[in-house]
Amino acid sequence: MNSSNNSSIFSEKLKTVIEKELTRYETKRSAILPICHAIQDECGWVQEKHIDALEKEYSLNRIQVKEVLTFYKAYKQSEPKKFEIEFCDNIVCCMMGAKDAMAKIEELIEKQGVNSEFGLKGVPCLGVCDQAPAMLVNKDRHHKITNENVEKVLSRYSSTI
C-alpha cells in the first residue's frame, strides 16, 4: 500500500505487526519479544538481515535484540530443518529418562540417514512436567516420550519425507 517503504525486507503484514508492537509498550525495547516471535512465525527463524533491518528501519538496538534472542531458547537463530525436535532437558524430564530418549533420537536420526531433515536440541521446561518427558516437533507437543516409544512417534514425520 505505502510504496515509499517498499525496500523493506519485511512483508506488509509483518510491518503492520512490528509497528503496532512498537507503540504498545512504554519502551521500544519491550517490543523486541513479540516482534521476534512474529518474524520467526513468518520466516522460520530470525536472521542477521532481520536484525539489520530492525536497527535501520525501526531503530531497535541490535545488541538488545541479540540479548533477547540468545536468552530465550525458543528463538531460532539458524535455519531450522524440516523437523525441529525440541526436547525438554530440565530436571523433571531428566528424572523421567529424557537423556536416554534424546540419545535414542540421535541414534535413529543417524541410522535412518535423515540428518538433513531432523534437528534435535535440548530446551528448558515446556510446562508439562506431569507428562514428562516432553518434546516438541515443530509445533506439535508429545508427552511421556521414552526410548521405547520414540521411534513410533517420529515415524509419523519421517514417513512424510
Write the burial class of residue 144 (CB in 10 Å: 0-12 exposed, 13-18 middle, 19+ buried): middle
Cell of 12: 506488509
Instruction: Looking at residues 94 to 133 of the shown chain, list those that interact with another protein (rule: CB under 8 A).
Output: none
The alpha helices in 76-148, defined as continuous H runs, are 91-95, 98-112
Rounded CA separation 112/4 (Å): 50
Our CB check for another protein shows the closer of 63 and 161 to be 63
Please identify, using beta-carbon distances, which residue of 64 and 147 lies nearer to another protein.
64
We find the least distance from the C-beta atom of residue 72 to another protein, in angstroms, to be 8
Q: Least distance from C-beta 45 to another protein, angstroms?
A: 16
- What is the distance between the alpha carbons of residues 42 and 27, in angstroms, rounded to a whole number? 24
Query: Which residues 55-74 are close enough to bind another protein by CB under 8 A?
Result: 61-64, 66-67, 70-71
Minimum gap (Å) between residue 124 Cβ and another protein: 9
Query: Does residue 28 interact with another protein by CB under 8 A?
Result: no
Q: Whole-number minimum distance, CB 78 to another protein, in Å?
A: 13
Q: Which is nearer to another protein, 60 or 137 (CB)?
A: 60
Q: In terms of DSSP bridges, do strands 118-123 and 83-88 run parallel, antiparallel, or are they unpaired? A: parallel
User: CA–CA separation, 46 vs 74, rounded Å?
Assistant: 11
Q: Which residues bind another protein (CB under 8 A)?
A: 61-64, 66-67, 70-71
